[in-house]
Amino acid sequence: MVKKIFICPPNSLILSDIVERLGHEPLTMMCEIQGRMDPESSEDQSVFEPRRGLKYTPVEVPSGVRGRLSMIGGLIERAEAAIILEDTDFGFGCGGCARTNELIPYIISQQGIPYIKVQYPHDLESTKEMVREIKDFLTTLEERT
């Protein structure tokens, strides 16, 4: 059965491609942007809604974090499982914000959905291990949920 899988970083090509190859639907930042974007609007930031981010963070959190979470939080809510890539290189991912990147695994754990943390690969062996772990996780997803 096709499951909706949230990937972190939410714009990752590698994770999105692997999830699709294994027969599931990746929930990515690109889907969210495509759904929200208004082609007629001239505002570049029209996709962000910091007020909606209040659902996931306190009010004193900077609006940048809330704006990011207004998009990412919705994806996590829709997700049935999640894959988190850890120890990535500097600047990897679309968050561009350390606080947002810290909050994402926390929100995922609060949702109570099954998730897996995989290490960012640095050579062929670690890449093989990462792909195997993701495959094992996705193939045993039915038992976990």
Q: Which residues bind other proteins (CB under 8 A)?
A: 9, 11-14, 16-18, 20-21, 28-34, 37, 39, 42, 44, 89, 91-94, 119, 121, 123-124, 127-133, 135-136
Under 8 Å between Cβ of 15 and 85:
yes
Is residue 50 reached through a cis peptide bond, with omega within 30 degrees of 0 on the bond before it?
no
Cβ of residue 1: shortest distance to other proteins, in angstroms?
Answer: 19
Cβ of residue 100: shortest distance to other proteins, in angstroms?
Answer: 15
Alpha helices (H) along 1-145? 13-21, 29-36, 63-78, 98-111, 124-139, 141-144
Q: Which of 134, 1, 6 is nearest to 79 (CA)?
A: 6
Cβ of residue 138: shortest distance to other proteins, in angstroms?
Answer: 12
Q: Which one, 44 or 60, has the nearer CB to other proteins?
A: 44
Q: Which one, 45 or 59, has the nearer CB to other proteins?
A: 45
